[in-house]
Amino acid sequence: MRNRTYQEAIDWLFYQFPSYQQVGASAYKPDLGNITSLCKLIGNPEKSLKFIHVAGSNGKGSTSSILASVLKESGEKVGLFTSPHLIDFRERIRTNGEMISEKSVVEFCDLIKTSTHEITPSFFEITLALALQHFLEEKCSICIIETGLGGRLDATNIIQPIISIITNISLEHTQFLGNSISEIAFEKAGIIKLNIPVLIGETHPESKGVFQKRALELDSKCIFCEDIDQKNNYQLPLLGSYQKKNLHTVLCSLDLLKSKGFNISKKSISAGLDNLVLNSGIIGRMQVIEEKPTIILDVSHNIDGVQKTLSDVVNINKGILHIIYGSSSDKDYESIISLFPIHSKINFCSFSNPRSLSGEQFELFNEKKDLNYPVFMNVKYAIEKVKSCAKEDDTILVFGSFFLISDYF
């Protein structure tokens, strides 16, 4: 049972400083002033740690988790900072796979509550400061930090990494980052630092020049992973062809880390992949939870991610594809729904997070498009109802939002 004091601390964090996960745009603070003040308050832990900084539109969480697992198996003590969480806030902050303790969370929240400061930090800024302090206390030898939104003005950009990674660029969070691939790439390129190499996981004609220009300005080596031939027979325990690109990006990153003195062997890479879930806690990425029928949970939520997930699921599916789709109200859900295979059976589902597209909004969409797709208010109930109508060789895909998957767990 969850500690009451811990629950009070989490409630305070969410409601005193609402998170983007909870309220969306109003929680976004594109400025490094708050995190700079917070880090100063706790003794600037970011100045005493080694970092790998990971940005991108899709795949940054998987890439960060794979890297963390391999480096742990290579003998490093690895801090891993990711977002959002699916079940417990503490998933965001891990050391060698172990979540931060409830006690540490409570003590840090008490410190922020009782400190005199003239700032109103966001949920994300407080969480990052907590992570940095925790990684220093744990004496982490390397910390992998996933950005929140963008890069240039993201709170995580307070760190000075030994390498930077940008997985890919697609149209996402356009209200903050820009309306074109090149504009979004400019924001992501903000994590590139003076004389620090950057790896680009996926090359896009509209973003390539942006990254090259920024890297040249900062005398940083810009490595496009797609230009590197990596022959490997490693088995990644995650479904999805897009995970092969993430693995390729990780392998290129590991080669670069080896040149910086990290002791990384083929054996540690294999062990890192075998023990990925244990070492990183990653869930919800093309995760098969049942068979006959096959039930897959996936957190893809923007057009690019959804396209990749659908492509992979169509290849796996042997019968009828049943889709259970939920979305945050600020996503381009109409465009996403238009991608669903014409012969699939579509179901809509809202979730408990306040940002959810409501049942009423789904019904309005049905009416607008002259459709009659079922609308559910609970994902577990939706899965049971769809499963009762499915055959053994069918596939049920549950996806569209981290929050929809969170409600399942």
Closest by CA to 396, choosing from 343, 320, 306, 336, is: 320
What is the architecture, at CATH level 2, of domain 287-408?
Alpha-Beta Complex (3.90)
Q: Is 175 exposed, middle or buried (0-12, 13-18, 19+ CB in 10 A)?
A: exposed
CB 340 within 8 A of CB 400: no
CATH class of domain segment(s) 4-280: alpha beta
Q: What residue segments make up the domains of the chain, in order of their start?
A: 4-280, 287-408
Distances (CA, A) of 361 to 133, 253, 306, 364: 42, 43, 20, 5
pTM equals 0.87
pLDDT in tens, the chain (409 residues): 456 799 999 988 887 775 444 444 444 456 688 899 999 999 999 999 999 999 998 899 999 999 999 999 999 999 999 998 988 999 999 999 999 999 999 999 999 888 866 777 888 999 999 999 999 999 999 999 999 876 778 899 999 999 999 998 876 544 455 468 888 888 889 999 999 999 999 998 999 999 999 999 999 999 999 999 877 889 888 888 889 999 999 999 999 999 999 999 999 999 999 999 999 999 888 999 999 999 999 999 888 889 999 999 999 899 999 999 999 998 899 999 999 999 999 999 999 988 899 999 999 999 999 999 999 999 999 999 999 999 999 999 999 998 999 999 8
Q: Is 401 exposed, middle or buried (0-12, 13-18, 19+ CB in 10 A)?
A: buried
